[in-house]
A = this chain, B = another copy of it.
Amino acid sequence: MREVPVTERPGLRERKKARTRAAIREHALRLFREQGYDATTVDQIAEAADVSPSTFFRYFPTKEDVVLQDELDVLAIGQFEHLPAELSPVAAFRAATRDTFAALDPAELAKLQETAALTLTVPELRARAMDELSRTIGDIASATARRSGRDPDDFAARTVAGAIVGVIMAATMPWSEWAEDQTRPDMLARIDAALALLEAGLPL
Residues of chain A having any CB pair with chain B under 8 Å: 88-90, 123, 126-128, 130-131, 133-134, 137-138, 141, 144, 148, 150, 152-153, 155-171, 173, 175-177, 190, 193-194, 197-198, 201-204
CB-CB under 8 A from A137, the residues of chain B are 166, 169-170, 173
Q: Are A158's CB and B130's CB within 8 A?
A: no
Q: Provide a sorted-by-A list of 11 A–B residue pairs whose CB atoms are within 8 angstroms.
A: A130-B131, A137-B166, A137-B173, A141-B170, A155-B190, A155-B197, A156-B204, A159-B194, A161-B170, A163-B198, A165-B166
CB-CB under 8 A from A204, the residues of chain B are 88-89, 144, 148, 150, 156-157, 160
What is the bound-complex CA distance between A203 and B144, given in angstroms?
12
Q: Are B170's CB and A169's CB within 8 A?
A: no
Q: Are B134's CB and A158's CB within 8 A?
A: no
What is the bound-complex CA distance between A161 and B202, given in angstroms?
10
What is the bound-complex CA distance between A2 and B118, given in angstroms?
45
CB-CB under 8 A from A167, the residues of chain B are 159, 162-163, 166
Q: How many copies does the complex hold?
A: 2
What is the bound-complex CA distance between A42 and B186, given in angstroms?
44
Q: How far is the CB of A192 from chain B (nearest CB, A)?
A: 12
> With A137-B170, A165-B166, A166-B165 in contact, is A198–B126 under 8 Å at CB?
no
Q: Are A127's CB and B133's CB within 8 A?
A: no
